[in-house]
Structure 1
Amino acid sequence: MDYESLDYNRYRWNRMLLTGFWAILIISLFLEGLYLTITEMPAGSFIPKFIVKPTILQLTALLFAETALKVLKGKYQDYILILTSALLAYILVYIHDSVNFLLLALFMPVIVSIFYFQPRKLVFALGNTLLSVYVMYLANEFMHREISLVGLTTITVMFSAFSLVAWGIIMRGRELMSNLKSYYESNQQLLVKTIWMDKMVKTDALTDLYNHMTFHEYFEKLIEQHEQHNLPLQLALIDIDNFKQINDTYGHRAGDSVLREVAEMIRSKANSNDFVARYGGEEFAMLFTDKSKADALSVVEQIRQKISEKPHDALGGKPVTVSIGFGEYTLGDGKERFFTQVDTALYKAKSSGKNKTVVAIESLESQLA
């Protein structure tokens, strides 16, 4: 799972909760203003007791929470939000001690704790709720007089029972989260396996280049694009000279080492829009899709030169050479004809001395002459 994302979501949810607490302050101010219009209490007594005092106390609690949210990290933010909800509920209930049903507001920390799906935070929230009830009972003369010990016990039992429901919700949420995590991880493993299998099907195991089948799939698509949009397209067929002799003299392991090193040298000259494949045996294919003919031919020559200068440890420090057939696609040629032209150029390069590049159109002109 992405833990940075989880931390971000924690902050986002805490920010939403704190915004909700600010909304509670605004709503309470609005309701107090409405009540002021109908109460028989003089405004000089009502405003300080029911508007000014609770507003200052709630503002203090909210500013404390805002500061803590910026300064503290991780789980500590959660506990601060639960504590803030307990303070806000306590202030509302204490100021309006004569409104019995407001006592239920003290359950707000437990409701807030459900957001976190962690039992220990539920226990912390319930502790805040019960502490608020007992402090209210001891500190508020009206409640101490109106609520008997039996009533206090009943309230304690009710809050505890409601907290058991909250605990059930949290456990159910944790179970769903666990199932979601398992589903996510299994899907992720399946995706990795699919990508790996797709890579195995499309690439050559020895050189890690694309294989023969993938080359032809890609080649056909590029031909279609060229026919539709007249995009540049060049093909180079690269064949290691005297490779059978290398295998016979130094062994197949040495031959495999040469193949890997030659493949890496070809790949090092390719950019993100070029396509390199092991066409078969000691032969490689390279497609260029974003270059002029001159630029592509220049890259091909750089590859040939680089390979001819590279000593191979498996061959006792000797280099190998390659012969290359090169051609540019012409509108209407078609895949088979174009490939045959380049393959013919490769054959001419090998039969006329090796370690050279022959351009397909020059090869065709020489055949026609």
Structure 2
Amino acid sequence: METSKCIYCLEEKPISEFNREHVISRFMGTYENAYVLGDAQVCKACNSYFCDNMENILSFDSLEGLLRTENLQKPMKHKRAIGMSRLKVTGNNDIFKGLTLYISSSPNNPNNIQIETAPAIGLILDENQHLYEYFSLESLPICDDTIRARMASSNKPIVVFGYDEPEVSEALKNHGYDLSKARYNGNLALADMTEEQSLSTEINCKVDSLLQRLALKNLFNYICYTYGKDYILQSNFDNLRNYVRYGTITAPLQSFINSGGIKKIPGLVNDCHAVGLAWTVIGEQIHLCGFVSWFDSITYVFDLMPVKTEQLNFLNNVKCVICDNHRRVLTEAEYLTVLDWPGTNKKIGFLDRNFQPIDLDEHSTTEQ
């Protein structure tokens, strides 16, 4: 019986227990010339694990999931909430400043998303700037002299989103708010409440180990696809392999995350992914590292292995793939890619064939 070893669990299994694995997770985009791992490289059990415990969860609950929804070629037919535990979205202008917002998929709206306000009661903070402090019914404060003074000098002391008038009135009265002179105006359009023509938002995203493991899995797949199964099966990768598959490590994992995308690689386009390898220095040691940049908006960088350092070092070109999310094609190339690792590290200097220094700004390098 013909068998093969899975690149993730390292188990030797019959060929029938393997299936195809997309190098770039399909939920992050589909491409005309998509890269696929075949030839018994990823077993069905690992493939199913990644789908059920990683991709299905993060596709709607992450910054990557929000960006993915905005860039879908075919909008989703059904409304789905996005980022309920990993994204906190608030308004950032006029009466919306500080107001919690919910994002969901919507096939009928621009960018395939819909923004709704969370139920809230807003108490005036600054009449001139249209600023309110927002509370739920449960967190509504007792009315004190400071609140009472602000309300007395305002023409619109309270705004309400998502609650019915009777339950709000009862809650306000129970907390000491005088509503004897209040006037309720219900079912107002936003144009009746603000003169702002656009809504500015602030998005705080939680990046946890599951998102790191997703990025690392895509990098791992790409290394296998590009450099071969025997290369990725080396024991040098075991710590990273266990982290992707099981979420455990036997040695500290060196990595960092940046907002924004990789720079200075030829062929980069707006909203693209970029996955590849680069050289860097950590401390005084040259390392091979890998990067995964999603939608030109968030980048994960992982230390892969140290490289023996000599007085003069010959560094090969390394590969990367650019995923064009507008044209839906992949483009691969090789460059002498150099990346700055955060912290106090030595810089890599390069010499030409005449042993003269090379200006890296004129060559294919990356910056974070």
TM interval, short-chain normalised: under 0.3
| More relative contact order, 1 or 2 (CA 8 Å, 6+ apart) | 2
Q: Which has the higher helix share?
A: 1
Q: Which has the higher strand share?
A: 2
Using structure 1 for the length normalisation, give the TM-score: 0.18
> Between Structure 1 and Structure 2, whose CA radius of gyration is higher?
1
Using structure 2 for the length normalisation, give the TM-score: 0.18
